[in-house]
Amino acid sequence: MNKLLKKLNDFNELVMFKHSIFSLPFIFIAMIVAAKGWFGFSLLVLGILAALTARNFAMGFNRYLDRDIDALNPRTVNRPNVDGRLSANQILIFTFANALGFILVAYFVNDLALILSLPILIIIGSYSYFKRFSFLAHLILGISLGLAPIAGVVAVSETITLWSILLSIGVMFWVAGFDLLYSLQDIDVDKKLGLHSIPSKFGVKNTMNISKVFHALTIVFWFFFVVTSNGGTFAYIAILVSVLMLSYEHYLVNKDFRKIDKAFFTVNGYLGIVFFFLILLDTIFY
Residue 26 placed within a domain: yes
Cβ-based neighbour number of residue 212 at 10 Å: 17
Provide mean pLDDT across the span 189-201: 82
Residue 158 placed within a domain: yes
User: Domain count of the chain?
Assistant: 1
User: Distance (Å, rounded) from C-alpha 274 to C-alpha 120?
Assistant: 27
CA 44: distance to chain centroid? 19
Provide mean pLDDT across the span 250-263: 71
Model pLDDT, residue 269 = 82
Residue 4 placed within a domain: no
> What percentage of residues in the chain have a pLDDT greater than 90?
54
Model pLDDT, residue 197 = 85
Helix (H) or strand (E) holding 77: none
Residue 236 placed within a domain: yes
pLDDT at 258 over 70: no
Residue 16 placed within a domain: no
Helix (H) or strand (E) holding 207: helix 198-228
Domain that holds residue 165: 22-285
Provide mean pLDDT across the span 147-156: 95
Closest to 12 in 3D by CA, of 79, 102, 89: 79
Closest to 178 in 3D by CA, of 259, 237, 255, 121: 259
Between 19-23, 47-51, 280-284, the lowest mean confidence (pLDDT) is in 19-23
Q: Confirm if 111 and 103 have CB atoms less than 8 A apart.
A: no
Q: Confirm if 52 and 20 have CB atoms less than 8 A apart.
A: yes
Provide mean pLDDT across the span 81-109: 91
Residue 124 placed within a domain: yes
DSSP label at residue 240: H
Say what the alpha-carbon torsion angle 20, 273, 271, 163 is, to the nearest 10 degrees: 90
User: Distance (Å, rounded) from C-alpha 54 to C-alpha 120?
Assistant: 9
pLDDT at 181 over 80: yes
Closest to 155 in 3D by CA, of 55, 256, 45: 45
User: Distance (Å, rounded) from C-alpha 192 to C-alpha 199?
Assistant: 13
Provide mean pLDDT across the span 230-245: 96
Banded model confidence at residue 259, pLDDT cuts 50, 70, 90:
low
Q: Can you state the percent helix, strand and coil of the chain, rounding each to 5?
A: 85, 0, 15
Between 14-28, 50-64, 126-140, the lowest mean confidence (pLDDT) is in 14-28
Residue 6 placed within a domain: no
User: Distance (Å, rounded) from C-alpha 56 to C-alpha 84?
Assistant: 19
Q: Confirm if 181 and 264 have CB atoms less than 8 A apart.
A: yes
CATH value at residue 277 = 1.10.357.140
pLDDT at 155 over 90: yes
3 state SS of 80: coil
Residue 202 placed within a domain: yes
